[in-house]
Amino acid sequence: MNSDNEFLTIIRPYARVFTAILTTLVLFCAGVMIVLSYAISADTEERELKNQRASDYVSSLYREAETASRSLDPLAGQLCTEKTLRRLRHIVAVNPHIRSINVYSRNSTGCSSLEGSLPLRPISYSESRVPFYTTMKQEDGYIFYMVYFSSPSYLTGVAINGFFVRDALRYISPDAAFYPLQDFMELSPQGYVWENTHYPFVLVSSDSINIQKLILKSRAVIFFILAVSLLVGWLTYISTGLINTPRFVLRYYLHKKSFYPVYQPVISTRDNKVAGVEILMRCVSKTGHGTPPALFIPLAEQSGMIKDLTSQLLKKVRDDFTYFSDRGLYLAVNITSDIMECPHAFNELLKFTEHARKNNLEVLAEITERQSFSLTVQLSEKLALLREAGVRIAIDDFGTGYSNLSSITQLDPDYLKIDKDFTGYSMAGGVREALLESVLHISATTAIPVIAEGIETPAQLNYMRDRGVWMFQGYLFSPPSDARRISEYICQFPHTV
Ligand code: C2E
Ligand code: MG
Ligand code: MG
């Protein structure tokens, strides 16, 4: 990637891919989580409902047993007569879920609807104390639950057909189990527990929520979420590509305060001293070297952001004032017509000038000829204000722009800066040298001093000096550098020449 693209590509292709993938993943995962949590809560609700139904069913069996037991009250204390047996069998016949019923008097023998008279039987502690004490029995392959109901004068044992309990469990799941409370306490089986509040039994089923099943159930929604996530990811990739506009790039660097100044001295051979320094803008680059302005100044000028860049630059220049103050120097600021036209930017320039003056620094406004400008009433008023504030004016890149001669009459400059390309035409012969000579001739006839930029060799220096130029800027003296280095250069001048 060349440095141009490097500078302009804030969001790198891999970062775009990464952002797109991340967006897709985050969206997909969030969507699936929401769907699953919704499915889990619906599943839990459904399970509660099933347990409630099963529990209600088993409760109804207990209630049947309880009602049957209570209806035996008039038989209490009676012997196991034909009449008693008939009564017991009648109760069993009218209660469809009851297999048999036994009744024991406190101090006599018992009576069973199945077997008739029962021998005297000791009543266990649990049977007499725990209401609805339940035990499971198995006879000839049939399961039944004996529910003992104790009253002060007798004890009944009602056998509930195990088939109906199993039938109730079918509401829940194939692995659901019924436990009389005392068995549950003893065995502590693992799982999802549903304890009945009225009768002493507990229903237990597997407690693991089957995620696989839930995913399978919600697969249509999950596919939809996947499609939407992919679409948003793709849009993210496209939009992050579109964001890489010059405006965005410059905003990004502005936000990161990446623009900073370097300074290049301007030498006056007439006074044999450094007359001033030109403020040149750089942008922090990843390589550590400043990005040259050719990469961003044209963009900033086109997008109208040059004023923002300049104002960030001037703020940083203020921090460097101490390096240059009280040395009889001027600070040359490159300005464009945008800055003159924008009231805020213009006021900042005036404030900068005021601050510079307090540090005994003059300000030279280098107005470039790259952008065409016409001297409107407002522009001439602004120029007058600048002059009032003590700012001197130079036409930058003189000879390269739109209307050299008219710009001289319009701006009435204090200096003409000859562009480094023109300086290079010295001794070139032919049309080029003739062009340079004509620019120098304009300077001579208008008596506006010239600052020759881009002096790289002693031969160029001498050529210009021979033609009456006495202000120079170029690598022959010093390349642009930070304030500390330029300050040292100024201290050592003229010994370094
Ligand atoms: P410019 O105002 O004409 O600045 C002089 C340019 O010539 C600078 O380039 C400087 O580094 C370069 N230069 C100086 N001596 C030599 C030399 O001996 N040889 C060669 N080859 N080059 C030399 P730079 O810093 O790259 O700036 C380029 C242009 O960007 C500037 O031309 C100016 O028009 C613009 N610029 C720089 N800073 C700012 C700024 O803060 N605001 C605005 N509006 N424009 C700026
Ligand atoms: Mg300049
Ligand atoms: Mg120039």
How does DSSP assign 360-373, residue by residue?
Answer: T-EEEEEEESSS--
State the average pLDDT over residues 303-324: 94
C-alpha 294 to ligand 2 mean position (Å): 12
pLDDT of residue 243: 78
Cis peptide leading into residue 494 (ω within 30°): yes
pLDDT at 283 over 50: yes
Ligand nearest to the CA of 280: 1
Ligand nearest to the CA of 291: 1
pLDDT of residue 288: 67
pLDDT of residue 385: 94
In angstroms, the Cα distances linking 294 to 3, 280, 300, 380, 390 are 11, 11, 10, 29, 30
Q: Using CA atoms, how far apart are residues 61 and 67, in angstroms rounded to an integer?
A: 10
- CA-nearest residue for atom 35, ligand 1, is 293
Select the highest-mean-pLDDT range: 172-186, 231-245, 310-324.
310-324
Which one has a higher pLDDT value, 317 or 112? Answer: 317
* Whether the CB of 336 sits within 6 Å of ligand 1: yes
pLDDT at 495 over 60: no
pLDDT at 276 over 70: yes
Instruction: Identify the band that residue 254 occupies on the pLDDT scale cut at 50, 70 and 90.
Output: very high
* Whether the CB of 474 sits within 6 Å of ligand 1: yes
Report CA Rg, the chain.
50
* Whether the CB of 421 sits within 6 Å of ligand 1: no
Instruction: Look at the pTM and tell me if it is higher than 0.85.
Output: no
C-alpha 104 to ligand 2 mean position (Å): 118
Strand stretches in 151-272, DSSP E = 154-161, 177-180, 192-195, 201-205, 259-268
Angle at CA of residue 294, ends 289 and 295, nearest 5°: 70
Mean pLDDT of the chain: 88
State which ligand 1 atom lies nearest to the alpha carbon of 301: 44
Coil, helix or strand at residue 188? coil
C-alpha 290 to ligand 1 mean position (Å): 13
pLDDT of residue 155: 84
Give tens-digit pLDDT for 304-313: 899 999 999 9
pLDDT of residue 355: 96
pLDDT of residue 497: 43
| Cβ atoms within 10 Å of 474's Cβ, excluding its own | 22
Do 307 and 342 contact (CB within 8 A), yes or no?
Answer: yes
pLDDT of residue 336: 87
76-81 long-range contacts, CB within 8 A, separation 24+: 76/103, 76/105, 76/151, 76/153, 76/154, 77/105, 77/108, 77/153, 77/154, 78/105, 79/108, 79/109, 79/111, 80/109, 80/110, 80/111, 80/116, 80/117, 80/118
pLDDT of residue 2: 58
Ligand nearest to the CA of 479: 1
Give tens-digit pLDDT for 31-83: 999 999 999 999 889 888 888 999 999 999 999 999 998 887 766 666 788 88
pLDDT of residue 402: 53
Give tens-digit pLDDT for 181-213: 989 999 999 888 899 989 989 999 876 778 888
Which one has a higher pLDDT value, 126 or 298? Answer: 298
Instruction: Identify the band that residue 153 occupies on the pLDDT scale cut at 50, 70 and 90.
Output: confident
* Whether the CB of 264 sits within 6 Å of ligand 1: yes
